[in-house]
Amino acid sequence: MTPIAPMLEITDAILEAGGKTLYECIQCGTCSSLCPWNEVSDYSPRHLIHEVSLGIEGYEEEALWKCVTCNLCVSRCPRGIDMVDIIRAARTTMLEMGSAPAAYRGPLASMNSDGNPWNGNAGDRMKWAEGLDLDVYTPENEYLYFTCCTQAFDPRNKPVAKALTGLLKDAGVNFGISGPDSVCCGDQASKVGGRSTFEALKDKNLAQFAEGKVDKIIVASPHCLNAFLKDYAPDTRGVAVEHYTVTLDRLIAQGAIKPTTEVAHTVAYHDPCYLGRHNNIYDEPRRVLQAIPGVTLVEMEHTRANSLCCGGGGGGLWLEVEKEERFAILRVQEAIDAGADTIATACPYCTIMFEDAVKVMNAEDKIAIRDVSELLAQSLA
C-alpha cells in the first residue's frame, strides 16, 4: 500500500487537479437523493465529498471509483458544485499516488502504447473502413469524421460507423475520416484520473487538427464531443464540433436525406448522459427517429434530463459490476415496460452496455439495441 500523504497535502493536490468547488458543498444531500447508484444499492455522493474534503479518509473506498460521471448530481446541485470535476481530481490524485482499481490499468496502458483503450493494434485502426471507399481527411474536406476508438475496434460498433459514414456519403457531405495515426479523444483517461495519459492524447489530436487545418468535426461518440468542446478548451475554440445526430437532423431538414422505407418498430430512445445532461442535446436524435417511416417513438420512465445512465461513463465500462447492480439492466426493463421492441441510442458505450444487459437478461427475443444511424440507414435501404 502506498503511504497516504498528510491531509493538507492531499486536499491541496485535489484542488490543484481541478476540484475547485470541493469546499462549497453545504452537505444538503441533493446529490445522494438523485444518484442512480441508489436505484441498485446504498451510495452517498454527499458522504463522499465530505470524506474527500478530509483528505485522508475515504480515498481507498470503492465509492470513489463507482461514480459513472452521469452529471445528474451536477445538474441539480443548488450550489453549482461540479461533482464530476471533484471526482476526477480525487482520482487523479490517487492514481498519481499509485492507488487505482486494477480494471483501469489495461485501458490506460493501451491508450499510452496504442492510442486506444481497447488493446487494439494501432495499425488496425482503419480496418473498419476497408471496402467502403472512404478517404482520409485532407484540408480539402469540409468535415473531419472523427472515428471513435470504440467504433474502430469494438465488433458491435463497427457496423454503426459504416452506417453513419454511408449516410453522410449518400447525403453528399464533403468529409474525410480519421487517419491511421489518429488516437483516442482521451475522455475515459481523464475521467478515471489518468491526467498524463489524457494530456498526451489531447496534444497529439490538437497537433493533427492543426496540421490538417481542421475547423469542422463530426463525432459519433458523445464522449468525444464533450472532450473536444470542454476538456480541450480553449484550444479547440474556433473549431465547430457537432454530434452526428445534429448533423443528420439538419440533413433531413434540408432534404439531403429522405427516409422512405418503412421501419416498423416501437422505439424507446435512450438519452446518453454525455449527449443530454452534459451537452443538452435531446431533440435532434428524436427528430431523426420521428422522420423514419413506421417508427413509433415512446418514452421511458426516466427520460431527457432525468435519463437513467447506462453505467458506462467515468470508467464504468471496464468495472466488474454484479448483475443486480447494473443500471443497463434497469434501463432495458424500462424500455420493455414502455412497450418498445427496440432501444435506440447515440453513444457507442451505451450500445455495449445495453447489448450486454439484453444477453444477461436473456431478452434477445423481446428487445433489440440499435444506434440511431442504423435505424435511419435501414429506412434508406
Amino acid found at 48: L
pLDDT band at residue 20 under the 50/70/90 scheme: low
Check residues 381 and 15 and name the one with the higher pLDDT: 381
Give pLDDT, residue 41: 84
Give pLDDT, residue 263: 97
Is 172 inside any structural domain?
yes
Mean pLDDT of the region 41-65: 72
Mean pLDDT of the region 51-61: 60
Residues 125 and 192 occupy one common structural domain: yes
> Quick check: 255 pLDDT over 90?
yes
pLDDT band at residue 286 under the 50/70/90 scheme: very high
Give pLDDT, residue 147: 94
In what side-by-side order are the strands of the sheet with 342-345? 296-298, 266-269, 342-345, 368-371
Least confident interval from 4-18, 279-293, 323-337, 364-378? 4-18
Check residues 8 and 295 and name the one with the higher pLDDT: 295
Cell 475554440 belongs to which residue? 237
Residue 374 near residue 159, CB atoms below 8 Å: yes
3-state SS of 52-83 is: HHHCCCCCCCCHHHHCCCCCHHHHHCCCCCCH
- Count, residues in the chain: 381
Mean pLDDT of the region 74-100: 85
Residue 98 near residue 172, CB atoms below 8 Å: no
Using the 3D structure, point to which of 96, 122, 152 is the last residue of a domain: 96
Mean pLDDT of the region 199-227: 97
CATH of residue 11's domain is 1.10.1060.10
Say how many domains are in the chain: 3
- Report how far residue 23's alpha carbon sits from residue 21's, in angstroms, rounded to the nearest whole number: 6
Residues 221 and 335 occupy one common structural domain: no
CATH of residue 348's domain is 3.40.50.10700
Give pLDDT, residue 5: 45
pLDDT band at residue 68 under the 50/70/90 scheme: very high
Using the 3D structure, point to which of 201, 219, 249 is the last residue of a domain: 249
Residues 136 and 230 occupy one common structural domain: yes
Domain that holds residue 113: 103-249
Least confident interval from 10-24, 94-108, 208-222? 10-24
Residues 89 and 162 occupy one common structural domain: no
Using the 3D structure, point to which of 33, 62, 96 is the last residue of a domain: 96
Residues 70 and 140 occupy one common structural domain: no
Residue 232 DSSP class = S
Question: What's the pLDDT tens digit per position in 328-361?
Answer: 999 999 999 999 999 999 999 999 999 999 999 9
Check residues 52 and 374 and name the one with the higher pLDDT: 374
Check residues 200 and 20 and name the one with the higher pLDDT: 200
- Which of 371, 375, 327 has the alpha carbon at shortest distance from 353? 327
Residues 241 and 115 occupy one common structural domain: yes
> Quick check: 89 pLDDT over 90?
no
Cell 451510495 belongs to which residue? 43
Give pLDDT, residue 12: 62
Amino acid found at 347: C
pLDDT band at residue 1 under the 50/70/90 scheme: very low
End-to-end CA distance of the chain: 58
- Which of 273, 213, 271, 223 has the alpha carbon at shortest distance from 243? 223
Give pLDDT, residue 17: 52
Residue 269 near residue 297, CB atoms below 8 Å: yes
Q: Give me the chain's average pLDDT, please.
A: 91
CATH of residue 223's domain is 3.40.50
Is 300 inside any structural domain?
yes
Give pLDDT, residue 23: 75
Residues 171 and 66 occupy one common structural domain: no
Is 1 inside any structural domain?
no
Give pLDDT, residue 19: 56
The DSSP H or E segment spanning 331 is helix 327-337
- Which of 318, 312, 326 has the alpha carbon at shortest distance from 104? 318
> Quick check: 7 pLDDT over 50?
no
Give pLDDT, residue 2: 40
Residue 263 near residue 292, CB atoms below 8 Å: yes
Residues 51 and 123 occupy one common structural domain: no
Residue 244 near residue 346, CB atoms below 8 Å: yes
Residues 118 and 85 occupy one common structural domain: no
Check residues 25 and 2 and name the one with the higher pLDDT: 25
Residues 166 and 222 occupy one common structural domain: yes
Residues 112 and 73 occupy one common structural domain: no
Give pLDDT, residue 305: 96
- Please calculate the CA angle 233-271-289 and round it to the nearest 5 degrees: 110
Residue 63 DSSP class = H
- Report how far residue 117's alpha carbon sits from residue 189's, in angstroms, rounded to the nearest whole number: 9
Tell me the three cell numbers of residue 303.
427520460
Residues 210 and 276 occupy one common structural domain: no
% of the chain with per-residue pLDDT over 90 = 73
- Which of 316, 215, 329 has the alpha carbon at shortest distance from 274? 316
Is 2 inside any structural domain?
no
Report the greatest alpha carbon distance in the chain.
65
Give pLDDT, residue 72: 93
Is 287 inside any structural domain?
yes
Is 306 inside any structural domain?
yes
Give pLDDT, residue 9: 54
Question: What's the pLDDT tens digit per position in 218-248?
Answer: 999 999 999 999 999 999 888 999 999 999 9
Residue 307 near residue 271, CB atoms below 8 Å: yes
> Quick check: 124 pLDDT over 90?
yes
